[in-house]
Structure 1
Amino acid sequence: MNEIVTQSLESLRGVGPKLAERLRNYGISSVEDLLFHLPLRYQDRTKLTPIGALQDGTEVVIEGEIALVSVSGGGRRRSLLIKLQDGTGIATLRFFHFSMAQKNALQKGDRLRCFGSVRRGAQQAEMIHPEYSRSFGNSENEDSLTPIYPSTEGISQGQWRKLTDQALLILAKNPPTELLPKRKNDYGLSSALRFLHRPPPGADLQALRDGSHPAQLRLALEELTAHQLSMRELRAKSRERAAPILEDRQGLTKRFIEALPFTPTDAQHRVIKEITTDLATAKPMLRLVQGDVGSGKTIVAAAAALLAIASGYQVAVMAPTELLAEQHRRNFANWFSDLNITQMWLAGSVKGQKREQALAAIANGEASLVIGTHALFQEGVQFARLGLVIVDEQHRFGVHQRLALSEKTTGESRAHQLIMTATPIPRTLSMVAYADLDCSIIDELPPGRQPVGTVLIDNQRRDEVIERVAHACRDGRQVYWVCTLIEDSDTLQAQAAESSYAELADALDGIAVALVHGRMKAKEKDAVMSAFKAGEYQLLVATTVIEVGVDVPNATLMIIENPERLGLAQLHQLRGRVGRGSAASHCVLLYQSPLGQQSRARLQVMRESNDGFYIAEEDLRQRGPGEVLGTRQTGLMEFRVARLPEHEHLLDEVQNIAEELQVSQPQAVQPLIRRWAGDRQAFANV
């Protein structure tokens, strides 16, 4: 093994037990870890800038002679002012936090070298709290850009630089092993590391900011390859055990599809065929079904469930909320009413004797179809012959949760897994976050579904919008009014659900208005939503808890307040609550002015498109993967160098390299994963 991989931190000067512990707690256990702990950004201290050439917003080094030292203001508003001149101009150094000893140590005529951010003051350029040191006219400029490292409490930037200085000396004598296949015109690993820790003067700062420098691309390629291999290992581990062969031996699936009052779309037929092929093999299916809001994923899930039941196995259907699970329960009960299938319900609200009866029916195999929430994978739930796990709205669960449910099998077999999401996932993220799954896409809406017309309206026209709501309700339609906060806030200009509810109930005389938000108990929420679905309320004022909700075909209008506060994918999910019937539906984005240019551009995407996949791509481009996916369900490493979508163009090459390594250099796979993931290997020990 290469010495640099295991060389201890204590071998470095200045690293005692306390600092070593802090570093280990931060995920750095060896010199190699230190080398792969890369800067977030850089400061250019390699050249002096004349004071007369200072520009607003730049970070620069200046040097000059003190012309004046004074204290301005009084009490807590005092500040220390230093006037610095160099013959080309005068700059003000301003310190809001200072001591008299600091003031007295700075005398007129002293020379200072300073580094800081420039802002344009009333009369001349200013630096607020710059770093400074005395200069005797012979100060040398830095010989590389100054790195700024990600850090943790108790480790200063100076310490990071001293530690990485030593690590780079070790790197020069003992470079880490090259684990990727050789590529043409490629940065070597050691050269890329050296460059990114200490970029030379004149390095392209813009390329480094954008993540497009060749040294960054070299390391991003390796990091993404390590992640891809990690995900492939997860997939291989998940498929080590055999799974039951599930086939439509009783013709249940065929009878179900023929009995539907409509014809499934070609996309639904295609995805059902892909699932049928998977389930007919003795390897566990791991399939993600993506489909836009209203594309008919539940029909696909029902067809898959019948394949398992026809083969004598049980099916578990898990949804993130009791409301959505209850909707599945009703749908499945309706569709399967003539098929003699015993269905069982298990959620957190099922207590006492009812729970005991449910657990017994699941354990003895009497219940063929079990529908519920996360209660399904809790201790005490044991299936007799679990053959298929269906997880709806995967993004609401952690990966470990769905894996825990698939482990509820007896003997050596493992259940098949069908994961569904109505949050379209860009190809970029599918290749990274869901590389352990096969993907199917339902890219067609059922006939008769109309796109939802979307408009942007300034909150100043609120009265007009309320009148539009009244008109829709009096026409026999139902309306959602979505707020982004529960309580009023002085700092956020957002109408809270409670105050909007009071306002609308007062303004809309004779119209039944209900309120639902995340702080209500599950039973209360479900009761309100059920009453709304039944038509007892015409207007539902809600927070984003309705993002994943019930199907109300009569709801044709949605108002979303402060849409600028939400991501595009979430807005698209919310909008999907309307347009579920045959009547024309509309969504009003009621924004708070003034609306920034970036926010306006985002909302225009909603106005122009109903395509969830296009919207998801735009969301990724604008907000990044962490915001789009959230961290709960991704299991992604926190990438050190790789950025998405900036490095999307590397992903096809990453797939090829991962394949090549597994076939021709399998001995490199584990070291590569360990180098980049360390203890954080994706989904370790699942």
Structure 2
Amino acid sequence: MAGNILKTPIDYLNGVGPERAKILQSELGIYRFEDLLNHFPFRYIDRSKYFKINEILPTSAEIQIIGKIKSRQEIGQQRGKRLVAIFQDETGEIELVWFRFTKWLKETIQNAVGKPVVIYGKPNEFNRKYSIVHPELETLENHKSSPLSLFPVYSSTEKLQKKGITNRVMQKLQLQLFQEVQRLEENLSDEIIQKFRFPKRLDAYRQIHFPKNLEELKQAENRLKFEEFFFLQLGLLVKKLNHQQKFKSFEFDSIGDHFNEFYSNYLPFELTNAQKRVVKEIRADLARPVQMNRLLQGDVGSGKTMVALLSALIAIDNGYQVAFMAPTEILAQQHYQALENYLGKMDLKIGILSGSTKTKERREILEDLATGKLEILVGTHALLEEKVVFQNLGLTLIDEQHKFGVAQRAQFLKKNKLPPHVLVMTATPIPRTLAMSLYGDLDISVLDELPPGRKSIQTVHKKDKDRLALFKFMKDEIQKGRQVYVVYPLIEESEKLDYKDLMDGFESISRAFPLPDFAVSIVHGKMKPADKDFEMQRFVKGQTQILVATTVIEVGVNVPNASVMVIESAEKFGLSQLHQLRGRVGRGAEQSYCILMTKDQLNEDAYQRISTMVRTNDGFEVAEVDMQLRGPGNLMGTQQSGVLNFKLANLTKDQKMMHTARFTAEELLKNDPQLEKIENQAIKNHFQKNYKETLIWSRIG
């Protein structure tokens, strides 16, 4: 019954009715009883503490005062009109100001003149006088009638206020709701509730809306946050189990001649321990008749391409072909060149297919692919076309996988009678908790060390006054035979933004580094692809020493001779972008530098981003700070995806609880994979009712 009552339309709640229902639906998305139940307070007022007017300090936060309204008046005309009341207690008086007010509010304040009231708000100081803007106000009688010491405050909007749905009304609606909802079905097992000492589900909801004290509030928050994490993780783990049962694949049960020949004769460097560990994980996956679905995370330069190559050789040794897909032509070309360089002396055929492949060449590639002469095909999304037919595709490698949609990735599943194994890679380090939430249905491997001999990039922060010294440093590096990137955030001047303009920058660099001693290239998004490619190639071949560019060079440019990255207006870039740009240098054996140029004054966020870059080269540490500054939704563009639509839980602040929930879900499924045991029926019922249709179920192809 409790489950059904939660589905009741909100207009049936006593005190709502059709008019209020419409505004609750449009403003807060509250359609049914359960939506109101899950409309949590965003803060609480401690009702046990009161201030006197003469105790107010410039540093005072929000405060509560008992007193009387002495007078009220409207000041100003039309748009500039404001409502001002003089409020006093036995120690003094202050102004209360409302810049937005309704007829209802005017009447409420008029009726309160001379009567004992309680006000709540944040005091402002001006000319040694205090005022409170838009205070909350209620009669002392009403205030005293509530047994709560912590007073819930709900998010509101101007429209709600205009319609008289104040915070007080919202509290009354919640109290009325608890009159209707007398019991709630449990959604956790008794074992989990007892293990973590959680309150019962209905008690948790009561305590989050109307806590008697901070301890009760904490218990309620813990229970409800745990639920959000637990059911997300359970969904991901069930999906992973289903995948393993549903998607059978090819067993690569032997390590053969190609792998051994390459490892013994052509491996260009000793593998790092991280690379050895990851190859072992992949090798174990490929030996099973279940489709591998693995995410390989590794910072720029950590050796992902070598891991991909060794995985490809395992597939080839077992008689299968390999597809290697990259999001851009530049990146596909780079992977193709790397594979050619590493495998060129071996008896293997590698091809590349992209939008610009000539018709004759394309025909030959497709023929060799269909007959099995071609072992590895590198390319862009052109690989997904129906005409691209493999004789025996066994492994798909996908680079920068977040740039491809689910439907695109799923097309590879149709390229053989059994779906090929899948290894997706990203050079964008993802914080561990976020990776577990977004990719918890994948197995995750992490390359967390750089190959030996790689020197750490030195990152420094400089300002406009240091520009002459910067130009001298660039000249010194160029004289050593090195090359320099200079990156700007904008292409054309913007009246609204005070960025360094790319064209101005190009001109000033051309003046400081004149022909014939120096040559400067320029690359930006508004150039024709052929012109962009021409300029890029000049830099790659060493014909120009400086490349002035916008962020088009963020991914997919590999010039080992480039040792300096100058980022202009660095405060305008996000942390992950700064880190990606820094990864364009440090690819050779020489010491490399990243110079962050900023204006003199930085806000707190910008300062934190710049100081993080200077402090560490570790992409995972950079990603953690990025998540704290921007929040997980913005970090991975998942704000609208529904995957991380938590009401209470916070991935940044509640990481420990996330791990606890994941471990609990894993243990549950280990002991009861089908959730058949009687003690787990509450979990199964809730899960099937509420989580079966979420995006979790269809996100990864």
* TM-score, with structure 2 as normaliser: 0.84
32, 39, 42: which is aligned to 2:41?
39
In the alignment, does 2:218 pair up with 1:198?
Answer: no
Aligned residues: 676
Cα drift, residue 72 of structure 1: 5.3
Cα pair distance change 1:421/1:136, threshold 3 Å: closer
Q: Following TM superposition, by how much is the alpha carbon of 1:493 offset from its aligned partner in structure 2, in angstroms?
A: 3.7
Identity %: 36
Q: Where does residue 696 of structure 2 map in the other structure?
A: 682
Deviation at residue 588 of structure 1 after TM alignment: 1.2
Which amino acid is 2:3 matched to? E
Q: Equivalent of 1:272, from 261, 264, 279? A: 279
Q: Tell me which residue corresponds to 2:269.
A: 262
Which residue is equivalent to 1:310? 317
Per-residue Cα deviation, 1:45-103 (whole angstroms, up to 9, x for no partner): 67654433345563345454444545656786554433222332222223445689987
Preserved CA contact (<8 Å) 2:66 2:89? yes
Q: Flag the 1:163–1:78 CA change in 2: closer, same or farther, 3 A.
A: closer
Superposed displacement of residue 217, structure 1: 1.7
Structure 1 pair 295–101 and aligned structure 2 pair: CA distance change class (3 A):
closer
Superposition map of 1:15-414 within 5 A: 16=18, 19=21, 23=25, 30-43=32-45, 49-56=51-58, 58-62=61-65, 64-69=67-72, 77=80, 79-97=82-100, 110-111=114-115, 114-132=119-137, 135=139, 140=144, 143=148, 144-149=150-155, 161=171, 164-179=174-189, 181-184=192-195, 185-200=197-212, 202-203=213-214, 213-239=218-244, 240-247=246-253, 250-257=256-263, 258-350=265-357, 367-377=374-384, 383-398=390-405, 400=406, 403-411=409-417, 413-414=418-419
Partner Cα distance (2:529, 2:689) in 1: 45
Secondary structure of the equivalent of 2:322?
strand
RMSD: 3.8
CA contact (8 A) 1:319 1:392 kept: yes
| Residues 100 and 626 of structure 1, relative CA distance in 2, 3 Å threshold | closer
Listed one character per residue, the Cα deviations across residues 167-192 of structure 1 (whole Å, up to 9, x for unaligned) are 43343334544446232433222222
SS of the residue aligned with 1:514?
strand
State whether residues 187 and 683 of structure 2, in contact with CA within 8 Å, keep that contact through their aligned partners in structure 1: no
Superposed displacement of residue 283, structure 1 = 0.7
Q: CA deviation at 1:459?
A: 2.6
CA distance in 2, matches of 1:401, 1:150: 39
Distance 2:252 2:132 in 1: 71
User: Are residue 466 (structure 1) and residue 466 (structure 2) matched?
Assistant: no
Shift of residue 438, structure 1, vs aligned partner: 2.1
1:267 aligned partner, one-letter code:
A
Do the aligned partners of 1:45 and 1:141 also contact (CA within 8 Å) in 2?
Answer: no
Identify if the C-alpha distance between structure 1 residues 248 and 326 changes in structure 2 by more than 3 Å, giving closer, same or farther. Answer: farther
- Distance in 2, matches of 1:100 and 1:612, equals 56
Instruction: Show structure 2 runs of 5+ residues with no match.
Output: none
- The secondary structure found in structure 2 opposite 1:551 is coil
Cα distance 1:367–1:145, how it changes in 2: closer, same or farther (>3 A)? farther
Aligned-pair CA distance for 1:304: 1.0
> Residue 519 of structure 2 contacts residue 546 of structure 2 at CA under 8 Å; is this kept in 1?
yes
Q: Distance in 1 between matches of 2:436 and 2:205?
A: 26
Aligned counterparts of 2:62 and 2:362: Cα–Cα separation in 1: 65
Residue number in structure 1 paired with 2:646:
639
Partner of 1:590: 597
> Over residues 253-312 of structure 1, what are the superposed CA-to-partner deviations in whole Å (9 max), with x where a residue is unaligned?
222232234333343233223212211211111222222221211011011112223333
Specify every segment of 5 or more residues in structure 1 that has no aligned partner in the other structure, as ranges: none
Pair 617,138 (structure 1): closer, same or farther in 2 beyond 3 Å: closer
> Amino acid of the residue matched to residue 416 of structure 1?
H
Q: Shift of residue 162 of structure 1? A: 5.5
CA displacement at 1:221 relative to structure 2: 1.6
Q: What are the Cα deviations for residues 438-475 of structure 1, in whole angstroms up to 9, with x where unaligned?
A: 22232332222111111121233223223322332343
1:46/1:145 contact within 8 Å kept: no
In structure 2, C-alpha distance between the alignment counterparts of 1:379 and 1:127, rounded to whole Å: 67
- Whole-angstrom CA distance in 2 between matches of 1:15 and 1:681: 33
SS at match of 1:484: coil
Structure 1 position 673, deviation (Å) = 3.7
Match of 1:548 in 2: 555
Distance 1:478 1:20, change over 3 A: same
Deviations 1:322-358 (A, max 9, x none): 2111101221233333444443433344587766766
Task: Report 1:620-631 matches (<5 A).
Answer: 620-631=627-638
From 414, 417, 421, give the equivalent of 1:416. 421
- Residues of 2 paired with 1:507 and 1:298: CA distance? 38
Paired with 1:101 and 1:41, the residues of 2 have a C-alpha distance of: 25
Counterpart residue type for residue 195 of structure 1: Q
Moved more, 19-28 or 346-355: 19-28
1:9–1:20 CA contact under 8 A, matched in 2: no
Q: 1:318 to 1:523 in 2, by over 3 A?
A: farther
Does the Cα contact within 8 Å between 1:309 and 1:368 map onto a contact in 2? yes
Q: In structure 2, do the counterparts of structure 1 residues 298 and 102 end up closer, same or farther at CA, with 3 Å as the change threshold?
A: closer
